[in-house]
Amino acid sequence: MSFDSLGLSPSILNNLSENGYKKPTPIQERAIPAILKGEDVLGIAKTGSGKTASYVLPILQNIQRIVDFKNRHITGLIVVPTRELAVQVHEVIEQFNKELPVRIKTLAVFGGVSVNPQMIKLQGVQLLVATPGRLLDLIDSKAVHLSDTRFLVLDEADKMLNLGFKDEMDRILGLLPKKRQNMLFSATLNEDIDQIKSLLLDNPVIAKIAEQETDIELINQRGYFIEEKSKGPLLRYLIKENNMQQVLVFASSSFRADQILDKLRKNKIDAMVIHGKRSQGSRQEALNKFKNGTLRVLVSTDLLARGIDIEFLPYVINYELPRSPKDYIHRIGRTGRAESPGLALSLVTPEEAHHFRVIQKKMKKRVDMEDGNEIDLRGY
Ligand code: ADP
Ligand code: MG
């Protein structure tokens, strides 16, 4: 199938090949026509399969179609869990928006940076990307009004409807008009959750792209049994022996991430860190460097587990396992994106072995294990 048959306008179509999009991914084939028709959509498709464009393109077109509609307030709202993801989704929007004959005014708002510049830029914005906390701050100071919002997207929807965001999301949903188009996207979304059913009033189109047996496995996975005290040396061994030039390392907490960073630097391995206790400036700087290939190792908490798109990222290492099996799927999904393969390695102590079996069971995939304790780690 080609993009031509999905109902997109010529100005959007012209732009696609320029941005390297030759043919639609399966989720784009399903979601784009449904969103253009005004239907509620629940989009479930694996990590790296192009879910962002599957809502961005039709929403840009839908908003363009109602330009005569004198809406002084936000017309479309996209809610995401992290600041970095807000920035990234906004970049995708602008990639396409900047070529439209009538440009739409868009903005990303998120915490950790001063609020005043965001308030000034909000004037006349039609399509807003936001993290929940900052959005509510801006609503409280009357800089954002949701009373005319027609389009709502929850990206990483299962995360947004999770306990961690519940109070904030309840408030946001309560402020939106009842009549609106809802679009929920995630790789790990269960359409049977009552919360989702009650949110999607309008007989939603469920676009669930099941993984095909014939799909080439883009993410190779391997695990290493290892004693706790040898995790550091094993990490450095893996990075050096495989000559890894770009690797994302996940840690279980900010504290642990800083410890890992420290050890890597002492061993003269170029590394930076991202976690919730770092300033937004240093977070974005580390991510930008990593995305453009000038940083070898990025150590992160689950802050980067969801949605972040790093072109051709070849390696992900779980220094420690995530608590939630869903987060495991999202973490390893930072590699193996847009048809380029990747390798995901997990370091597993005897205490973590049972949990890793639970993760594999939930993911319905077995991971080959090696005994890291048999590797000669002297000198690492
Ligand atoms: P997801 O949200 O499903 O994890 P993204 O929307 O972040 O995935 O897209 C992953 C990558 O695939 C991005 O770099 C994006 O530019 C690229 N991409 C998306 N759709 C297409 C397409 N139709 N053709 C080629 N590349 C695409
Ligand atoms: Mg995504």
If pLDDT is split at 50, 70 and 90, which confidence band does 69 have? low
Q: What is the predicted pLDDT for the residue at 215?
A: 63
**32/99: higher pLDDT:** 32
Structural domain of 129: 3-208
pLDDT band of 292, cuts 50, 70, 90: very high
Same domain, 292 and 348: yes
CATH of the domain at 360: 3.40.50.300
Coil, strand or helix at 336: coil
Helix (H) or strand (E) holding 129: strand 127-130
Question: Of 208, 229, 258, which residue constitutes the final position of a domain?
Answer: 208
Amino acid at 7: G
What is the DSSP pairing of strand 315-318 with strand 247-250? parallel
**Domain shared by 34 and 91, yes or no:** yes
CA 343 to CA 312: how far, in whole Å? 11
The verdict on 157 and 221 lying in the same domain is no
- Quick: pLDDT tens for 257-267: 999 999 999 99
Amino acid at site 45: A
Tell me if 296 is assigned to some domain.
yes
Question: Is there a single domain that holds both residue 368 and residue 232?
Answer: yes
The set of protein residues with a Cβ atom below 6 angstroms from ligand 1 is 20-22, 24-25, 28, 45, 47-53, 309, 311, 337-338
Token pair 């306990």 in the structure block, residue: 163
Of 219, 264, 233, nearest to 372 (Cα)?
233
Domain termination residue (choose one: 174, 208, 242)? 208
Per-residue pLDDT at 323: 95
Q: How many CB atoms lie within 10 A of CB 274?
A: 25
Q: Is residue 380 part of a domain?
A: no
Residues within 5 A (CB) of ion ligand 2: 51, 307
Angle at 20 between CA 18 and CA 25, to 5 degrees: 130
Q: Is residue 129 part of a domain?
A: yes
- Choose between 20 and 68: higher pLDDT: 20
User: Do 187 and 231 belong together in one domain?
Assistant: no
* Total count of domains within the chain: 2
- Give the DSSP letter string of 229-289: GGHHHHHHHHHHHTT-SSEEEE-SSHHHHHHHHHHHHHTT--EEEE-TTS-HHHHHHHHHH
241 and 340 belong to one structural domain: yes
The answer to whether residue 47 is domain-embedded is yes
- Give the pLDDT of residue 36: 97
pLDDT at 68 over 60: no
| Same domain, yes or no: 225 and 300 | yes
Ligand 1 pocket: which of 52, 184, 291, 332 to mutate (most atoms within 8 A of CB):
52
Give per-residue pLDDT as tens, 175-206: 999 999 999 999 999 887 777 877 876 688 98
- Final residue of a structural domain among 208, 235, 255: 208
Judgement on whether residues 296 and 356 belong to the same structural domain of the protein: yes
CA of residue 47 to ligand 2 center, whole Å: 7
- 229, 377 contact by CB (below 8 A): no
What DSSP state is assigned to residue 111?
S
330-333 contacts, C-beta under 8 A, 24 or more apart: 330/47, 330/187, 330/188, 330/305, 330/306, 331/250, 331/302, 331/305, 332/47, 332/219, 332/221, 333/46, 333/47, 333/48, 333/187, 333/219
Distance 49 CA to ligand 2 centre (A): 8
Q: State pLDDT tens for residues 319-372.
A: 999 999 999 999 999 999 988 899 999 999 999 999 999 999 999 999 999 999
pLDDT of residue 190: 85
| Distance from Cα 17 to the centre of ligand 2, integer Å | 20
What burial class does residue 61 get, using C-beta atoms within 10 Å of its C-beta: 0-12 exposed, 13-18 middle, 19+ buried? Answer: buried
Q: Whose CA is nearest to atom 16 of ligand 1?
A: 50
Indicate if 334 and 235 belong to the same structural domain. Answer: yes
From ligand 2's centre to the CA of 51, what distance in Å? 5
Would you state the pLDDT for residue 195? Answer: 79
Q: Are residues 197 and 254 in the same domain?
A: no
